[in-house]
Amino acid sequence: MNNKKKTQNKENKNLAVQEASIIKNEIIKLENETLPVLAAGLAHEVKNPLAAIHLHLQLLENQIHLVDNKELRENLLNRIQIIKKEIISLNRLLQEFLKVIRSEKRSYKIQELNEMIPSIISLLKPQAHKVGAEIYFYPGKLPINLEIDPIFVKQILINLIINSIQAFYTEPQNQKKRKIEISTGIENDIPYIRIADNGPGIPEDIQHKIFEPFFTTKQEGSGLGLALVKKMVEEMNGSIEFISKEKEGTIFTIYFYPKSIKDITNEAQRHKNEIE
């Protein structure tokens, strides 16, 4: 009788595990179906105010010509040009983001990464200085035929650098020299970009969640930043890894694999999963 009861309990447990697995798969399927629709709607809502901002900047630009002080006028016009440039860049990013969530085929081109990065640093330096941090760039040797999506790379770097800057807000100012270091190079024949900071680090108990959509520890965060970063990296046939220690800092590394190498890696992983 006891053996029969044990067998029944085991069968019930197995059935519960199977049902939980089915429910989990259905939830994932639902998320995959609904997230692109929600994201497309959000992108559309963002584009409308962007157009309005751009229009008002143009009107403001016309008014600034009435300013008598030449130095002030030129400074204001330079600021407006920077804002307009970033609005156009953001609009392009929205278009590219829509392509990603709709799984549209993207085009890549040979791009010199080391030439892109200084302008991104210049854009974010004022924000870094607000928290007493400096951004450094250490360019290394890269392949001349590296195919990437420059819009994606720019947004990935902006997201990761801003994350580092915002992390400094969460720790008290001390004698430590705050810094964010960006480097490029090749490891084991694989090109990479690395973003390292000496901030507070990511708590160990949440490290496994940071790439999950809508997960955030920020009061006003959307939880989409790192999820989108991971998606954009993977769209470029790359991978992203990180190491983080509390009170020491965080290092993100993005690898750009030649397609043949990445396909072999994925096939090996699929084979491993099948065996397990």
pLDDT, tens digit, 9 for 90 and up, residues 116-129: 899 899 989 998 99
Structure-model confidence comparison of residues 64 and 34, the more confident one: 64
- 244 confidence band (pLDDT: 50, 70, 90): very high
The token pair at 232 is 């954009």
What is the distance between the alpha carbons of residues 252 and 270, in angstroms, rounded to a whole number?
Answer: 25
pLDDT digits (tens, 9 = 90+) for 175-220: 779 999 999 999 999 999 999 999 999 999 999 988 887 777 776 6
pTM above 0.85, yes or no: no
Average pLDDT, the chain: 78
Cα dist. 38→159, 227, 261 in Å?
21, 15, 34
Residue 165 near residue 180 (C-beta atoms within 8 A): yes
First to last CA, the chain: 34
The token pair at 1 is 């009788």
pLDDT digits (tens, 9 = 90+) for 104-153: 555 566 678 898 899 899 989 998 999 999 999 999 998 887 888 888 88
What is the distance between the alpha carbons of residues 77 and 252, in angstroms, rounded to a whole number?
Answer: 36
Q: Which residues, 6+ apart, have CB-to-CB distance to 250 below 8 Å?
A: 164, 167, 196, 197, 199, 201, 202, 242, 243, 244
- 264 confidence band (pLDDT: 50, 70, 90): very low
Share of the chain above pLDDT 90, in %: 24
- 93 confidence band (pLDDT: 50, 70, 90): confident
